[in-house]
């Protein structure tokens, strides 16, 4: 793969690892949703992530940058979109639709990101990048549309909520790319997670009905799943993603989200016992080609 060398290639490798963790996280969230309602899953995951990132910031003794009022407002807006709304839409959506629909909708992330980057940031949507987006989307579609027993019905509320989660994540990413100039991505991640978690807790506090969970199903494994999801998928994944937005840009970074459904299916085989077919190989080849075309220098 041609393009940025050294640190950029290392960052791209971290992005691929992040996609693998996020793919596994789909199965983890599915398991957690059996034990507790979506909002509680969101709150617990984000609380763990916020605490972890805050500890890292304190350990590194990072100085608070002198931010303007508009920058603080932008951070709050990013947190509202990328954490609060995104988590609510994502967990509610995953709870209300099947895995095939959710994976296909999540795969729209790079396409939406590329189009928004063209409209809002003035990026050039070159023919190779267009082909990369098409190949990546086709590879993901090959995986999710040929799963045994899979059937796509009419768009339901769960599908719409997953699409909303993709949209809020992409819009927040555009804001982060603009905001990250001159601000450490780790600091941005810490602020976003803390503000977003505070908004989720406020939501819980203002909601008239109590949180719903099945105490008989909650055990030590539940704690492990929440910790893994919060620490790896949310905290570490968010740090890597925000760093990539600043270095690689929205459109190039978003192409790595094509890997999330691929890894999601693979981990579903390992964790949930779902079958593996030849279409997984077809999809993987298309995603590799699409990522190469979309991330190489033009």
Segment 113-146, tens digit of pLDDT: 776 777 776 777 778 777 877 887 787 777 766 6
The rounded distance, in Å, linking the Cα atoms of 80 and 164 is: 13
pLDDT in tens, 182-210: 777 788 888 899 999 999 999 999 988 88
**More confident: 150 or 294:** 294
Determine if the pTM surpasses 0.75.
yes
pLDDT of amino acid 40: 94
| Cβ 91 vs Cβ 33: under 8 Å | yes
Please determine, for residue 99, whether its predicted confidence score (pLDDT) is greater than 60: yes
Q: Which residue has the higher pLDDT, 38 or 262?
A: 38
pLDDT beyond 50 at 1: no
Long-range contacts of 11-18 (CB under 8 A, 24+ apart): 11/240, 11/243, 11/244, 11/247, 11/248, 12/244, 12/248, 12/256, 12/295, 14/240, 14/244, 15/240, 15/241, 15/244, 15/253, 15/256, 16/256, 16/259, 17/240, 18/236, 18/237, 18/240, 18/241, 18/256
Distance CA 165, CA 35 (A): 22
Predicted pLDDT at 156: 63
The predicted pLDDT at position 150 comes to 52
When pLDDT is averaged across residues 240-248 and rounded to a whole number, the result is 80
């Amino acid at each position: 793969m041609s393009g940025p060398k050294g640190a950029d290639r290392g960052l791209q490798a971290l992005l691929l690892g992040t996609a693998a963790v996020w793919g596994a996280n789909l199965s983890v969230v599915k398991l957690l949703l059996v034990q507790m309602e979506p909002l509680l899953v969101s709150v617990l995951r984000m609380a763990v992530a916020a605490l972890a990132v805050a500890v890292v910031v304190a350990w590194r003794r990072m100085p608070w940058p002198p931010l303007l009022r508009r920058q603080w407002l932008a951070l709050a807006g990013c947190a509202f979109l990328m954490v609060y709304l995104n988590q609510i839409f994502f967990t509610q959506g995953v709870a209300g639709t099947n895995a095939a629909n959710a994976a296909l909708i999540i795969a729209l992330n790079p396409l939406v990101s590329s189009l928004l980057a063209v409209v809002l940031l003035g990026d050039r949507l070159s023919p190779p990048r267009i082909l990369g987006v098409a190949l990546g989307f086709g590879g993901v579609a090959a995986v999710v549309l040929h799963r045994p027993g899979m059937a796509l019905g009419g768009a339901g509320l769960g599908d719409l909520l997953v699409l909303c989660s993709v949209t809020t994540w992409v819009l927040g990413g555009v804001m982060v790319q603009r905001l990250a100039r001159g601000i450490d991505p780790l600091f941005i991640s810490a602020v976003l997670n803390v503000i977003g978690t505070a908004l989720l807790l406020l939501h819980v506090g203002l909601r008239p009905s109590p949180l719903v969970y099945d105490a008989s199903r909650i055990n030590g494994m539940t704690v492990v799943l929440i910790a893994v999801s919060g620490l790896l998928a949310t905290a570490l994944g968010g740090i890597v993603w925000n760093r990539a937005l600043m270095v690689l840009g929205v459109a190039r970074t978003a192409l790595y989200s094509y890997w999330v459904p691929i890894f999601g299916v693979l981990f579903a085989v390992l964790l949930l016992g779902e079958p593996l077919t030849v279409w997984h190989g077809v999809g993987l080849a298309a995603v590799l080609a699409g990522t190469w075309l979309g991330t190489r220098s033009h």
